[in-house]
Amino acid sequence: MQPKQILALLFAVNLVNYVDRQIVYALLPLIKADLGVSDARLGALASAFMLVYMCAAPPIGYLADRSSRPRWIAWGVAVWSVATFFSGACRTYAQLFLARSVVGIGESCYGSVSPSFAAEHFPPEKRGRVLAFFSMAIPVGSALGYILGGVFGQSFGWRAAFAIVGLPGLFLAVLASRLKDPRPSPASGAGPPGLREYAGLYRCKSYLASTLAMASLTFCLGGLAVWMPSFFNRFWGMDVARAGIVFGGVTVAAGLAGSLLGGWLGDRLLKVTGKAYFLVSGAGLLLAFPAGCAAILAPSLELTLAAVFLTEMFAFLNMGPLNGVIVSVTAAPVRSMAFAANIFVIHALGDALSPTLIGWVSDLWGLRPALLGSMAFLGLAGLLCLWGAKYVEADTAALGPPVAEDSYA
């Protein structure tokens, strides 16, 4: 396959990834009514996926640095698709909890490998836009998850919704199995990286800053992903289908605008300063903070929707640039582990915690105060990006020019 075809396939897989991940959130009101569980247990359902996802990522990253990455992509898609399909057969909360946990195993195979695999097919000066395009699947897939979950759930029930969206991934798994890894095998070059190389990731301040910024952002966005459909349901009287469609529509519009703008701005400013990716991300996150507060406190639905759009658009400016930072400051032989470690940290400190914490605060004081408190993490993410900007040029220079592993057409 040509680089653009590979990118298109990985975008499609990432799209299905986020549909299967996010659909559960649109279905929460139906699951709550059917299984009779509390908000805290609903939040734990989301946290279970994230806990398994983040814990599986490091060992998978370690193995992927030593074996065929396309194989991990293909198996990952197959595992999470089958688990999503069988979520529709669950009759108890415990069964659904287990099925969503297995989804986390499959998606960790993909998340640990795919960003670096996509980026390595293109030259460094295009990687901001490449990773922005790849990351557009996050808002688009999330939106489709909310929309399809709302429509299918309202029409056929939450179990049928899971079964329907689980099927397309099996076809994509077959296509992914045909990809070729551009990275030479350990037998044809240097040996695989060891603990010293992996430990060096966290001595790289720009890698650390990007990871912590993404963790703070993920804490907030993970909470919004889980609870905003319920927010629209409770405070604006929307049924499940309409809440999913409305939030999904806003998310896809804001995500597309933010991802494309962030990738374009990052690559354009990179010609002026090596700090560009961090500066674009930091500015967007600092603007997202007040917009997010306005979204929760707005006195009308129209103002709420406008503020949600601005919050997500500013937040999504970072999607291409921050992933671009990780590719720029890590050597090719350790990039799978770099992204795997990134996954572990951003979810351990982010949305593995926030859905349950927001649900717990909601049970005590209400959903609006719970969501409002989570917005502070957007501001923290922006400040971490500005801190990382101080070090990224030196970290990139220390890595040296792109090597043979970065093969691109």
CA–CA distance, 356 with 387 (Å, rounded to integer): 29
Residue with structure tokens 């076809």? Answer: 171
In this model, does residue 190 exceed pLDDT 60? Answer: no
pLDDT digit string, tens, across residues 85-110: 999 888 899 999 999 999 999 998 88
Give me 283's structure tokens: 């500015």
Three-state secondary structure call for residue 409: coil
CA–CA distance, 373 with 379 (Å, rounded to integer): 12
CB–CB of 262/318 below 8 Å? yes
Indicate the pLDDT class of residue 303, thresholds 50, 70 and 90.
Answer: very high
- Within-domain flag for 8: yes
Average pLDDT over residues 273-295: 94
Q: What is the pTM of this model?
A: 0.76
Angle at 165 between CA 160 and CA 168, to 5 degrees: 140
- Within-domain flag for 409: no
Residue with structure tokens 């990834």? Answer: 17
Lowest mean pLDDT among 7-11, 197-201, 381-385: 197-201
- Within-domain flag for 404: no
Give me 285's structure tokens: 């996150």
Lowest mean pLDDT among 73-82, 175-184, 358-367, 374-383: 175-184
Instruction: Look at residues 213, 215, 377 and name the one whose alpha carbon lies nearest to residue 280.
Output: 213
pLDDT of residue 132: 82
- Torsion angle in degrees (nearest 10) through CA of 325, 331, 174, 172: 0
Three-state secondary structure call for residue 113: helix
CA-to-CA separations, 54 to 30, 75, 275, 401, in angstroms, rounded: 27, 17, 28, 31
Residue with structure tokens 């996926």? Answer: 49
- Within-domain flag for 358: yes
Average pLDDT over residues 22-31: 86
CA–CA distance, 204 with 196 (Å, rounded to integer): 13
Lowest mean pLDDT among 149-158, 238-247, 383-392: 238-247
152, with CB counted inside 10 A (0-12, 13-18, 19+), is buried
Neighbours of 32 (CB within 10 A): 15
Neighbours of 276 (CB within 10 A): 22
pLDDT of residue 192: 62
- CATH of residue 295: 1.20.1250.20
CA–CA distance, 14 with 323 (Å, rounded to integer): 15
CA–CA distance, 281 with 6 (Å, rounded to integer): 26
CA–CA distance, 19 with 292 (Å, rounded to integer): 24
pLDDT of residue 191: 58
- Within-domain flag for 180: no
pLDDT digit string, tens, across residues 113-160: 888 788 777 777 777 788 888 888 887 887 788 788 888 988 898 999
What's the structural domain count of the chain? Answer: 1
pLDDT of residue 184: 55
Q: How many helices (H) and strands (E) does the chain have?
A: 20, 0
Average pLDDT over residues 282-297: 95
**Of the ranges 51-60, 113-122, 299-308, which is most confident?**
299-308
How would DSSP label each residue in 251-304?
Answer: HHHHHHHHHHHHHHHHHHHHTT-TTHHHHHHHHHHHHHHHHHHHHHH-SSHHHH
- Within-domain flag for 342: yes
- DSSP state for residue 191 in the 8-state scheme: P
pLDDT digit string, tens, across residues 292-302: 999 999 999 99
pLDDT of residue 195: 66
- Within-domain flag for 158: yes
- Within-domain flag for 408: no
CA R_g for the chain: 20
pLDDT of residue 305: 94
- Structural domain range at position 160: 3-175+197-399
Give me 112's structure tokens: 């640990």
Indicate the pLDDT class of residue 197, thresholds 50, 70 and 90.
Answer: low
Give me 327's structure tokens: 């590719």
